[in-house]
Amino acid sequence: MLTVNRSDIGRIRLANEDRSWAGVTSGGLTLAIVADGMGGHQAGDVASQLAVDAFREAMEPMQAGVSAEEAQQYLRAAIRRANEVVYDMASRNEQYHNMGTTVVAALFIEESLLLIGHIGDSRAYRISAGAISLLSEDHTLVNELVRSGQISFEEAAHHPRRNVLTRALGTDEEVELDLQVLDWNSGDMLLLCSDGLSGMVSDEEMLEVARSQASLEEKADRLISMALAAGGDDNITVVLLQSGAGTDGEE
């Protein structure tokens, strides 16, 4: 599995509160995670870094060949552990009070099976057969309004409270994870991103980049550039994964 991991501070923020990782665990499994921290000065980047580190550490013992059921248990346990670590740090340190982070994680347990877990509004997309589909559902106030029919999808894109989360990792002692087990085709591409990309670049624009003849690295760089050109209002993180002859994992 080929993996590419890119992040940019954007044009407005004073610090990059996004953290991400993509690569192969010691157990031989392809794993990726994007976390978008929140909580004010320094707290957001602390939350996202703690979450990524705790998640990776908890996933390391997992070995290739596990069943889908075992993989789901590992993923849930790793997210619970990340939540504990962030919540404990926030509880014990006044400067980190109420910090938290979004999380979207992907685990390939075999060539044809993918697990996606997420909390918050960082997203997972599948690009397949010339189409792009959103695999995750935003845990935001605005998305709740859309689901209840109070506002339209078009209105949601420009709503003044569109970034208000209804669920985040580390803000409460317990957290609910949305987890999916999906079939995976060898020609598919997976995109994980923070809302610094999805809030600035349309699905159609993402698809156009994904379908281009550029390398995976060039596609990730192009997506970052497009978000910056659209205003770069937030930190921007892009992780791309695609089946290939080798694996290029980056911190």
Query: At 230, which helix (H) or strand (E)?
Result: none
What DSSP character marks residue 176? P
CA distance 75 to 6: 23
The 10s digit of each residue's pLDDT in 65-78 is 999 999 999 999 99
Please give the single-letter amino acid code of residue 91: S
Residue 27, Cα to own-chain centre: how many angstroms? 22
Instruction: For the chain, report the end-to-end CA distance as a whole number of angstroms.
Output: 15
What DSSP character marks residue 214? S
CA distance 137 to 143: 8
The 10s digit of each residue's pLDDT in 30-47 is 999 999 999 866 799 999
- For residue 251, the model assigns a pLDDT of 37
CB 129 within 8 A of CB 104: no
CB 123 within 8 A of CB 117: no
Q: Give the CATH architecture of domain 2-242.
A: 4-Layer Sandwich (3.60)
Burial 186-213, CB ≥16 within 10 A → b, else e: eebbbbbbbbbbbbbbeeebbbebbeee
Query: At 243, which helix (H) or strand (E)?
Result: none
CA angle at 185 for the pair 180 and 191, rounded to the nearest 5°? 60
Sign of torsion, CA 52 56 57 59? positive
Three-state DSSP at 139 gives: coil
The answer on pLDDT for 166 being more than 70 is yes
Beta bridge partners of 192: 124, 239
CA distance 200 to 230: 6
Please give the single-letter amino acid code of residue 138: D
pLDDT band for 142, please (50, 70, 90 cuts). Answer: confident
The 10s digit of each residue's pLDDT in 178-210 is 999 999 998 899 999 999 999 999 999 999 999
- For residue 41, the model assigns a pLDDT of 63
Question: Diameter of the chain by CA atoms?
Answer: 50
Average of per-residue pLDDT values in the chain: 91
